[in-house]
Structure 1
Amino acid sequence: MAYCYRCERPFRTLLALNQHTYDSSKHHMCPECTGDFKTLYELREHLVDEHDGCPECYDIFDSESDLQDHLFEEHNMCSICNQFFKSPSNLKYHQLVHREKTVKCFACYRMFVTKSAMVLHLEEGTCKPGIDVDVIDDLATDCYESHKYLDNDGDYKCPTCAKYFRFMSGLLQHAESDSCDETLRWKHGPLAVFLRFLKTRV
């Protein structure tokens, strides 16, 4: 007679007990050794600490550095806080929280990580009185490069991939991402021109 002390259940055979430990939600078995853990968290910690194993897919690696490379490349793990993300773009967006705020608001003292975040701050009306999304939209229309990022109906459109956005901040965030080749780094680009125009008007 076999017995599971954790679940307080008897089993007729050792084979039945083994099957129970692999099937039960109260047992989390290590694929590399005989370790049996109460929680999935404990199993994942064990895999990483004892076997250089991936806590996401349970693959085992020859070294800690190989494991780290795998986590970064296959599971989009943040190298700073070790959180996992569903896609590289989600990881990149998350990594903004770790970046230093170097972008100063054009109208107040506040600092931001990105230019799109600064423009969103202006659109939301949280800056000085009189600046809100309507003002930003009007200035976007007044800029001499507006025909490159506004369509005939006045909707924001990426100059490169023609994707539409409701707000200028969304278009700028798109340009800051890797979604397409549009960028704010080219000083003669229409969005970079708009930002310089905006700076002189708010």
Structure 2
Amino acid sequence: MPIFCYPYYPCEPCGLEFDTPSEHEDHLAESPHHHYCKPCRLEFASDGAKQAHLMNSKHHHSDVYCAPCRTLYTQPNNLIMHLRSSIHTPKNVRCPHEACGKVFVSTSALIAHFEASTCRSGVELEDVDHYFAYHCDSQQLFVRKELIYPQRRWQITGHHDGPFECPICHKMFNYAGQIRHHLNSPKHKNHGHKPYVCPSQRCGQAKFYSLSSLLLHRETGDCDMGHRYEFPKILRKLYGIIQQL
């Protein structure tokens, strides 16, 4: 019987062998023992040499490389999200509730704070939907009131071990707390509808499960900012309601 000798791709410094060139290259790019530039397929003697290359090479444009963090991203949008994170963006959006006072990097992060029930006001996801749809956005510029429903109340017994099955999407969970969190998520509220809408034609009037998702879309997308002056006014109404809780 003939014995076939298959090619292999060794990494001598690490004492490893790989079956394919791509596996070998992934190792070079991900290993802390190598200083490898994957787009250029070049390995450098030190991290400093690699960073100098990243900052000066024409192959690495400013739309994918964060010089302060010395991090190269595969997509420009990944860099945008990174630059808008708390690492680079000051936290200057303060929670309006006096007992809370937490600060956030963006309006969408503040609204997500309300929706996650982490505000000391006691406001939660269902409250945000109700206040915004029925007391703030009276013209329904950003929300469809008819798609806002009272939250379903699920009876989940937590005195026995899982698995627990979601009655809506049939996803399985090991613990009662996991399925409670899942059932209270934006995707499973309002009977599965997406009541929030971006008025921009550029995105085809994209729809969202939650107000924070709509805000994040408008903060990070390239949509024309329809009703750009009305939205802050509507949000101030929401803040006013939460201030009084």
TM-score (norm 1): 0.65
Root mean square deviation of aligned Cα: 2.9
- Consecutive unaligned residues of structure 1, counting only runs of 5 or more, are 1-19, 29-38, 48-54
Q: Distance in 2 between matches of 1:90 and 1:179?
A: 14
Using the aligned pairs only, state the percent identity.
24
The partner residue of 1:70 within 39, 44, 59 is 59
1:42 Cα deviation after fit: 7.5
CA contact (8 A) 1:150 1:156 kept: yes
The aligned counterpart of 1:14 is none
Q: Per-residue displacement from partner, 1:137-180 (whole Å, max 9, x unpaired)? A: 11111214551111342401111131111110110111111242
Q: Distance in 1 between matches of 2:224 and 2:40?
A: 36
The partner residue of 2:40 within 58, 83, 92 is 58
CA contact (8 A) 2:40 2:59 kept: no
1:59 Cα deviation after fit: 6.6
Larger % of helix: which?
Answer: 1
The aligned counterpart of 2:235 is 195
CA contact (8 A) 1:72 1:79 kept: no
Q: Distance in 1 between matches of 2:41 and 2:71?
A: 18
Q: Distance in 1 between matches of 2:75 and 2:91?
A: 24
Higher Cα Rg, which structure: 1
Matches within 5 A, 1:28-43: 40=28, 41=31
1:139 correspondence with 2:131: yes
The partner residue of 1:25 within 10, 21, 25 is 10
CA contact (8 A) 1:72 1:78 kept: no
1:82 correspondence with 2:70: yes
Distance 1:144 1:170, change over 3 A: closer
Deviates more, 1:162-171 or 1:192-201: 192-201
1:153 correspondence with 2:141: no
Q: Per-residue displacement from partner, 1:45-100 (whole Å, max 9, x unpaired)? A: 3x6xxxxxxx122278xx85532x632347x1222212232322221112213211
Distance 1:174 1:183, change over 3 A: farther
Deviates more, 1:143-152 or 1:108-117: 143-152
1:101 correspondence with 2:95: no
Q: Distance in 2 between matches of 1:183 and 1:113?
A: 22
Question: How many pairs were matched up?
Answer: 156
1:134 Cα deviation after fit: 1.2
Distance 1:118 1:57, change over 3 A: same
Q: Distance in 2 between matches of 1:122 and 1:165?
A: 17
Distance 1:201 1:175, change over 3 A: same
One-letter code of the match for 1:122? F
